[in-house]
Amino acid sequence: MFVSENLGVNEKGNLTIGGTDTVELAGQYGTPLYVMDEQAVRKACRRFKSSIDKYYDGKGLACYASKAFTCLEMCRIVADEGMGLDAVSIGELYTAVKAGFDVTKIGFHGNNKTDEELEYAVDVKVGHIIVDNISELLRLERIAEEKGVRPDIMFRIKPGIDAHTHDFIKTGQIDSKFGFALETGEAFEAVKRAIECKNVNLMGLHCHIGSQIFDIEPFEEAGRVMLKFIAKIKNELGYEIKGLNLGGGFGIKYLNEHDPVPFETYMEKVSEVVKSTCSELGITQPYIFIEPGRSISAPAGITLYTVGARKEIPEIRTYISVDGGMADSPRYILYKSEYEAIVANKATEERTERVTIAGKCCESGDLIGENMPLQHAESGDIIAVCATGAYNYSMSSNYNRLQKPAVVFVNNGESRIAVKRETLDDIIRNDI
Ligand code: LLP
């Protein structure tokens, strides 16, 4: 009935998430409110892990891409599920370290890492660093030499694949700021350089072709391209690359009409391609990493708002204004991303209207969505926007000096705060 499996309706006719009444959550914690369903996160982690076990004989690790949504509690849950982690900045890495995440399972990313970030990653002994460019390789070599260590590294490669998704979230094509290009020979030269270097251990290659991808073919193609490159390195340089990271990007259902391929199917197909390509090329099957972000956190989350003004502009549109907006939900203004919305206290009613849900920021483009089917909403109603668990909290801002909402986890009918709502003093805490 609703877009995410963990949503339902209780005897009061209120929307529930993970069995918890969303209207009560709004009353207890205030709005706007991010709500994450712990069991949904855990279930998604288990699906990734069991698919690797089933289709790739357990020779791989799913690393949660923490850019999608992270905080101490999220790291603890993901760690408890035995996942690895993809951290893309010192802030994400610090969060994971403070949460007690097993650092050996962390891959450290970033297309322009600072020396401070590289030094921190080396000091905390992350599992591996995914090197993006030559200048970074040279800086890391120097840092590793100074510290007398030899970190494991991977190279981020642009496999030259054009995934069918929004331009802003495509990354595998040659015209991308991420990684070494294959076509130009840049990647091969960098591999030669790394092999010669005493202070780093090139243990793998990485690619990530984009995000919110529904087809399997681009992933299969990326796998083939990367394995061919691994074979070329073996044949021409006599060097064995042991790890292959195929990135994240698995599409999720934001609207009922979306039909993403189940992750199990992805893993089955990609494993077949990896196995058959390896035997064709005469190379050892690599240890596989994948980096799902959105597919773990998005369906687990919703955002709750309270309706303020209702403005009907005859023949034009109806605006339903809520107490948040682009500061906590930036994906519409950035990508025109579509979401399902539900009036949480009228969840059994028909959606009889098409409305524009507007935020409270001083910006006309500050919308949660346009032309959204919705139950008749009035001031004081609670609106739930669904599948918002990825890239909303993590991309939120204090625009207009709005306070960032709290994050609450629900688990089998219980709820707890994971991130406190910002206070007015938080807003000025760094001002002098
Ligand atoms: N690995 C790498 C190297 C990545 O760059 C990303 C996402 C992921 C994994 C995880 O991708 P996912 O499984 O979450 O699709 N802000 C945009 C999405 C940006 C994605 C950036 N990289 C959005 O809100 O749609």
Shortest-distance Cα residue to atom 15 of ligand 1: 249
pLDDT of residue 169: 57
- Closest Cα to residue 301, out of 17, 36, 26? 36
Q: Give yes or no for residue 295 CB within 6 A of ligand 1.
A: yes
Q: Give yes or no for residue 277 CB within 6 A of ligand 1.
A: no
- Strand pairing partners for 62? 290
Q: Residue-wise pLDDT tens for the chain (432 aa)?
A: 899 999 999 999 999 999 999 999 999 999 999 999 999 999 999 999 999 999 999 999 999 999 999 999 999 999 999 999 999 999 999 999 999 999 999 999 999 999 999 999 999 999 999 999 999 999 999 999 999 999 999 999 999 887 666 565 556 677 788 999 998 999 999 999 999 999 999 999 999 999 999 999 999 999 999 999 999 999 999 999 999 999 999 999 999 999 999 999 999 999 999 999 999 999 999 999 999 999 999 999 999 999 999 999 999 999 999 999 999 999 999 999 999 999 999 999 999 999 999 999 999 999 999 999 999 999 999 999 999 999 999 999 999 999 999 999 999 999 999 999 999 999 999 999
Residues marked as catalytic? 362
Query: Closest ligand 1 atom, CA of 247?
Result: 1
Alpha-carbon distances of 191 from 18, 130, 245, 397, rounded to whole Å: 47, 13, 16, 39
CA of 86 to the centre of ligand 1 (A): 10
- Closest Cα to residue 233, out of 282, 191, 279? 191
If one residue of 112, 157, 211, 397 were mutated to test the ligand 1 pocket, choosing by the most ligand atoms within 8 A of its CB, it would be 211
CA of 218 to the centre of ligand 1 (A): 16
Q: Which one-letter amino acid corresponds to residue 428?
A: I
What would the two tokens of residue 361 be? 């920021």
Alpha-carbon distances of 287 from 226, 227, 245, rounded to whole Å: 13, 12, 8
- With H, G, I as helix, E, B as strand and everything else as coil, classify residue 370: strand
CA of 349 to the centre of ligand 1 (A): 35
CA of 339 to the centre of ligand 1 (A): 18
Provide the edge-to-edge strand list for the sheet that holds 20-21. 7-9, 15-17, 20-21
Residues 6+ apart with CB under 8 A from 129: 107, 108, 113, 118, 121, 122, 140, 151, 152, 153, 154
Q: Give yes or no for residue 330 CB within 6 A of ligand 1.
A: no
Query: Closest ligand 1 atom, CA of 334?
Result: 24
If one residue of 294, 326, 333, 392 were mutated to test the ligand 1 pocket, choosing by the most ligand atoms within 8 A of its CB, it would be 294
Using a cut of 0.85, tell me whether the model's pTM lies above it. Answer: yes
Shortest-distance Cα residue to atom 16 of ligand 1: 391
CA of 67 to the centre of ligand 1 (A): 7
Query: Closest ligand 1 atom, CA of 395?
Result: 16
